Structure formats: C-alpha cells, structure tokens
Structure 1
C-alpha cells in the first residue's frame, strides 16, 4: 500500500494549490482527481473558460459598436461561434497542462479516479475501468468543490434547459436566453450571449441582482446592463420550466402575484452551487456534514476527525476560487506547524461583466445593520480622463470609512478593470489604512485607479479634485 503524508482529494484551485504548498513544505503528497484533466470546475468549466468567452464577446462588441468612434473602419463583423468555443477550449487546455507541469515540478503524485474513504487514513481510488487501489494518508484534505444547483421542479435536460457547464459549449447563439438567477454566473454568461446578439431576460426571485454585494453596485450594474439591452424581471418567483421541442417556456409569478409566462429557446438555470461530497465515503471516515451538506470544520479548517481537513466550496463561506486557494495554503502551513491566518473579511468578490464589479470588506447595508457610524466617499468613472480616453465611462468607486478613525471599512466599485483595481483596496485594508492614507498616495495619471484616490478624498470630507 502506497503511503503519503498528505492526500488532497480534488484538483481545483484549492486542491492543486494546497498540494503544491504541501510539497514545498516537504510533505510526500498525492492529489486525486476523478476526471481526466486537472483543474476542477474553475479551470475546466468555470472561471477560465467563462472569462475566455467574456473577452471574445467583448472584442466583438467593441468591433461592432465602438471601433468606428476610434476611427477604425471595418466591414460588419460576424460571429464564428465555433472558433470562439475552440479558442476557449485551447485556453482551458493550456491552463490544465500548466497544472500537470506544476505537479511534476513539485514531485506530487497524481492519481486519476474517484476517491472514497475506507477509514480515516485509508482512501480507495476507483478508476473508470473499474480497477482500484487503496492508499494510506496521514492527513487528508477534502477539496471536491461544488456543482450547479437547480430547483426541485426543473428538469435539466442539458440541451435546452442548461447549467453554466452547457452554456460554455453551445453550438448556436440563442435567439432568446432566459436566465433564472441574477447572481454572478448568470449575469456573466448572459453578458456573453447578449453581446453576440441574443435577447437575454434575467428572472430573479429577490428585488435586486448580485444580492450579496453592496446595493449601490447592484443598482449601477442593473442600469448599465439594461442600457446594453439585458431585460430584468425582479421579485419574480419561477414556478415551472418546460421544454417544447426547440423552445422553452418559463412560468412564474411577479411581485403582484400575477402569473406570467416567458418564451425562449434556451433557459440557463443559475441559482447558485451546492457542495459536492457524493461518493466520498465520509461516513466511513466519520466526517460530519452540516445542515446544508457542507463539511463541518473548525477555525483551522479541521473536520471532527483530527487528520482530515476540508477547504473551498465544500465548506462554509463564499464559493470563490481565490478563497479556496488561501484555505489550501492555510491547511498546508498548519500541518507544517506554522501559524497562518486568513482574513475572510478581505476576500474580494468580483463580477466579470463589462463594466466589471468588485467589492471587499463591509457593505453599506452591513454597516447599517450593525450600527457602525460611517462616512461615504464616492467618485464617478466618467470624471476620469482615462475613462474618457477608453470610452469606459460607466461606473463609480465607493469607499466606506469609520466616522471616528477614518479607517477603511469597505470598498465597492464598478468600472473598467475593477477586478484588478480591487487589489489596491485589499492591500490598504490589510494594513488598516485610512481614507487619508489612500488620498495622500500618488496615483499615476491617467489611470482608472485615480478614482480610488478621488473617492478617498471625498470620504475624508475634503472635496474630490476632479468632481
């Protein structure tokens, strides 16, 4: 029986990063993946392929609507969806091969097959051909991620009624894509097909989109996407989805309780994700789950079985690749006797629509709920020279600061490259910077990040220079 110091189950961002850090720290490490490619949901059917399609569709959008204003004259551009999907697949292939290289470089054993616990220290790996082997691991890290959720009355046929996985590989551009769920995944994939020419209708049960983010961002993003042509039906409860040949019918009730019916040719069900623990044999190891099917862990990400840990989407907290990565490193360093830390308040959230949306720290709604006295500083992107130069004038930066100490409590932004700009806010808040600290730092001109400085100036009570 092969013996290892650490066995990592799942090769997504949490799993493979954890395996690398374990190997760097001198542990004999094995990573177990049931699919034939490493990288998990993020690299294969999540973050990476969706961003590839978002970028491709954004290029098409610019060619169709913005090139002429820049003095670039071209014939009317056409979409080659097959090539767009092929390019996406090439990006995925290159990225997953990069993970294989990192496994070899760090001398990590890779075992392909479905892992299930036989005991707290023994793991059975069953291959596709039915053969199996059992390994022994002093410590195990569960990093099996999540799967798309659905509603109990929806039958996902994965042809017309689809999840995000199928939406990444459509063979045609939908005439009318109905998106159930106004969260990150639905809005991103909805944006892809909106740009390519689809009519897109978002049906959301709550009264706002991206409900976990600051309400200002929700309102601003909805306004911007509506301007782009996306339609929204908020406070609307879906009651049924039926496929009729090449059409899909969604029945729902609006906020007045009146029955409505929406007809389309594809329906993307994007109502969140659920932790994936099926087939792991957790009961044999004695590992407990919580009421939502997540692996129960303590503050050290340790399960009730002392040598078994869990990270990422399979445990409590935001289902984000970068959160899983931090947790993977945290567990590896904990096993090595170090004292790592994760500040969950400072894990940013991002929506890769255009403009992009990003936030970190407390939202204004959270501060109101907890009775914290705060000040708000904001600055519109349209006031920046850099934004006008690139024709990306939608959006704003919003900074929330403690009323007495001026410490930054939250930063929320919508605008070009917000996904990259949010890192400045994370660094500032990690070092407990004040709004005045940011206001006094020189920001290169012309850049989008000047808006962060201007919002900080506004938060200090001084008037922003360019507003």
Structure 2
C-alpha cells in the first residue's frame, strides 16, 4: 500500500494548486482524479473553454459589426465556421490540460485516475476505470471535488435541446432562438456567445435584475449594454415548466403580476447555479460532516470535522470561483505544513466575462446600506476616457465606495473593457487598506482604461474628477 503525506481528491483549480503547493513544501503528494483529463470543470468545461468561445465570437462580431468603421473592408461575406470555432476551443483546453500534466511531473506528484472514496479517515479506496481497485494511506487529505450544474426539480435535462453549460460549449449549430433560464454569470456569458453568432437570445430571470448578487449599478449598466446588442431580458419571471416538443422547447412562467407567459425556442440553456459535488466520497466512513445540500462543513483553517481532512473550493461555503478555490488550495497546504496563511474572503474579486466585462470586489452599495455603514461614492464613465473612445468601447463605468470618515476603500465596482484585469488594482489597494485619496494620487498611464479608477477615486475623495 502506498503512503502519502497528502492526498488531494479532485484536480480542478483548487485541487491541482493544492497538490503543487504541498509538493513545494516537501510533502509526498498524490492527486486523484476520476476523469482522464486533469483540470476539473474550470479547465475542461468551464472557465477556459467559455472564454475561448467568448473571444472567438467577439472577433466574429467585430468583423461583421465594427470593422467597417475602423476602415477595414472585407471583400465578400464574412462566414462563420462553428465547427472550427469549437475545435479551436478544444485545442485551447487541450493545451491547458497538458500544462497541468507537465506541472504534476515537474513537482513529482503522483496522479491516480479513478473514483476516490474514504475507507476511513486515513485510507482512500480508488476504483479505476478498468475495474481495478487500489487503496492508499494518506496522513492528510484535501477534498476538492468541485461542483456540478444545478437544475430545477421539474426540468429534465436531455443534453440535446434542454442543456447545461457543458453541452452549450459544443453545439453543432447556432440556435435560432436560445432560451436562457438564469441571468447569472454562466447564462449571460454563453448567451452573448450565441447572440454574437446570430441567435436570438432571451434570458428569463427569477430575480428583479440580472447578476443579482453584484452591485445594482453594474446590473443596470450591463442590462443596457446587452440590450443594445440584441439580448432580451425577462426579469421577475418564475419558471414553472420546461417542455420539449420535437425540436422546440417551451418555457412556461409567471411574470411579477402573476400572468402566465410562454417562451418558445429551439434550445434552452439551464443556468441556475451550481451545487457541490460530494457524491460517492463515502464521507461518513471518515467521519466528515456533509449537509443535505452536499456542502462540507469546515472551520477557519478549512479543516472538516476530522482534523486531518480538509475541504476547499466549491464543496465549502463561499462563492464558487476558480481563483477562490486556488487560494484555498494554497491555504490548506500551508496549514498542513504548519504555516499561518491568510485569505481575506471580502477581497475575492468576482468577474463576468461578457463584453463589456464586469468586475467587483468588496462591499456593494446595497450591503453598506444594510449594514448602516456611512460611505462616499465616486463614479466615472468609461466614455469620458480617450482610450475608450479610441477603441470604441465606451460603455461602462467605475464606481468606488469609500468610508465617509476614514476614506478607506470599501468596494470597487467596474463595467467596461478589460475590467477583468483592471480589478486587480482595486484588490491590491484594498489589501493594503488604501484610501480613495491614495488611489487618486497614484499616477496612471495615459491613455488607459485604468484612468477611470483614478478619476472615480478623485470623485469619491472630494468630487474633483478632472475629465468629467
């Protein structure tokens, strides 16, 4: 029987990062993955492939919609080759997965393929695809089994016309009318992909606005921008049934007044969130507590109810984000090594990779009001920037919320070009407890999108933006 200092179950951004950090800290480490491909949901059917399609569809959309205004004339008709676009997406996935394989070898991490289940707190059974079984001894275990797409109890996902994000990444045709249930990150990103490629897209959302967990100002701006691109929104609609009739899908819903509404399309993307995936772990055998939603209970050190077993990522509380899982993977590894690492969950940024992009960190305005915190607000529109006008990306704004008395930055909310990258400036500033004035006095290169952050900070400091 092989013995390890640490066994990591699941090879997503939480698991593989945890394994690498454990190996760096001198621990003999094994990574266990049920699928043949490493990388989990994020690399295989989530973050990476969706961004590849977003980028490809963006190029296509620009070619048919914006090239002419830039003085670029293409003789003949611009044609879409969806198969080639999907193939490129898969090649990006393959390259990324190959990179994880390389990192496992580089860090001398053993990789075992199979379904892991606890025999007890220090022994793990691994059922391999070819029918073989193996048991290993692990002094410590990190559970990083991730999540699966959620659905509604009355919806039958057939993976053909009624689909999840996994199937939406490999469609063989552009839908004529894509119905999207859920106005969160996944639904909006994939909805925009197919809208750019020519599909009619209707988003049906239960809450009164899209991206409801983010600041209301971002929701308002994104709705306005996506509507200009042709996406239709039906908020405050409660879905009651989803039926397939041949190649047609029918959604039956109620609007906020209680009126019955029907939506018809040829595909329906169900994107109502994700759920922890802990099935088959046999957690009870190890004494690990799992709630009725599949979520694993952990303490401030990410330890489960069993002190030598840790859990990270989508199977524990908090936002289901790849970078949050990676931070927790590093954290758990360092705790096992006897170090005292740090995670500030308030400063885990959230991003929506539509165009314009949406990014945020810290408290929303709604949260500050609810908590009774006195604050100042600074805003600056992207359209006032020379860089935005040069690129044609004038939609969006930056909003900074700072404490009314101390001026400490409490939240930063952005929508615009490249804000997925720009939010790192806000995270850095807030980690060092910067004030809005601190940011306003930093030099920002001109012309850049980042100047909007400086201008919003100036507005928050004493209402003195230069370019507005």
Give 3-state SS (helix, strand or coil) of 1:339's partner.
Answer: coil
| 1:230-269 correspondence to structure 2 within 5 Å | 230-269=231-270
| 1:28-67 correspondence to structure 2 within 5 Å | 28-67=28-67
Corresponding residue for residue 378 of structure 2: 377
Give 3-state SS (helix, strand or coil) of 1:170's partner.
Answer: coil
Corresponding residue for residue 215 of structure 2: 214
Give 3-state SS (helix, strand or coil) of 1:13's partner.
Answer: coil
Asked if 1 retains the 8 angstrom alpha-carbon contact of 2:378 and 2:463, the reply is no
Report the CA distance between 1:174 and its aligned residue: 0.1
Q: What per-residue deviation string (whole Å, max 9, x for no partner) do you get for residues 65-102 of structure 1?
A: 11001100013311100000000000000000000000
Corresponding residue for residue 170 of structure 2: 169
| 1:294-333 correspondence to structure 2 within 5 Å | 294-333=295-334
In 2, the alpha carbon distance for the partners of 1:289 and 1:124 equals 19
Give 3-state SS (helix, strand or coil) of 1:334's partner.
Answer: helix
Corresponding residue for residue 227 of structure 1: 228
In 1, the alpha carbon distance for the partners of 2:42 and 2:454 equals 33
Give 3-state SS (helix, strand or coil) of 1:389's partner.
Answer: helix
Report the CA distance between 1:189 and its aligned residue: 0.2
Q: What per-residue deviation string (whole Å, max 9, x for no partner) do you get for residues 90-144 of structure 1?
A: 0000000000000000000000000000000000010112110000000000000
Report the CA distance between 1:291 and its aligned residue: 4.2
Corresponding residue for residue 271 of structure 2: 270
Give 3-state SS (helix, strand or coil) of 1:460's partner.
Answer: helix
In 2, the alpha carbon distance for the partners of 1:316 and 1:206 equals 22
Report the CA distance between 1:290 and its aligned residue: 2.6
Report the CA distance between 1:158 and its aligned residue: 0.4
Q: What per-residue deviation string (whole Å, max 9, x for no partner) do you get for residues 27-67 of structure 1?
A: 00000000000000000000000000000000001101110
In 2, the alpha carbon distance for the partners of 1:422 and 1:291 equals 35
Corresponding residue for residue 106 of structure 1: 107
In 2, the alpha carbon distance for the partners of 1:404 and 1:39 equals 45
Corresponding residue for residue 68 of structure 1: 68
Q: What per-residue deviation string (whole Å, max 9, x for no partner) do you get for residues 303-333 of structure 1?
A: 0001000000000000000000000000000
Report the CA distance between 1:462 and its aligned residue: 3.5
Q: What per-residue deviation string (whole Å, max 9, x for no partner) do you get for residues 267-303 of structure 1?
A: 0000000000000110111100134320000000000
Give 3-state SS (helix, strand or coil) of 2:120's partner.
Answer: coil
In 1, the alpha carbon distance for the partners of 2:80 and 2:160 equals 21
Give 3-state SS (helix, strand or coil) of 1:117's partner.
Answer: strand
Report the CA distance between 1:183 and its aligned residue: 0.3
In 2, the alpha carbon distance for the partners of 1:127 and 1:55 equals 37
Corresponding residue for residue 115 of structure 1: 116
Corresponding residue for residue 9 of structure 1: 9
In 1, the alpha carbon distance for the partners of 2:48 and 2:416 equals 21
In 2, the alpha carbon distance for the partners of 1:77 and 1:212 equals 38
- 1:426 equivalent in alignment to 2:431: no
Corresponding residue for residue 390 of structure 2: 389
Corresponding residue for residue 23 of structure 1: 23
| 1:444-459 correspondence to structure 2 within 5 Å | 444-459=445-460
Asked if 1 retains the 8 angstrom alpha-carbon contact of 2:314 and 2:320, the reply is yes
In 1, the alpha carbon distance for the partners of 2:92 and 2:129 equals 26
Which stretches in structure 2 are left out of the alignment for 5+ residues? none
Measured on the aligned residues, the alpha-carbon RMSD in Å equals 0.5
Corresponding residue for residue 364 of structure 1: 365
> Would you identify which runs of 4 or more consecutive aligned residues in structure 1 move more than 3 Å?
none
Corresponding residue for residue 196 of structure 1: 197
Corresponding residue for residue 351 of structure 2: 350
In 1, the alpha carbon distance for the partners of 2:36 and 2:170 equals 18
In 1, the alpha carbon distance for the partners of 2:146 and 2:430 equals 28
In 2, the alpha carbon distance for the partners of 1:26 and 1:433 equals 36
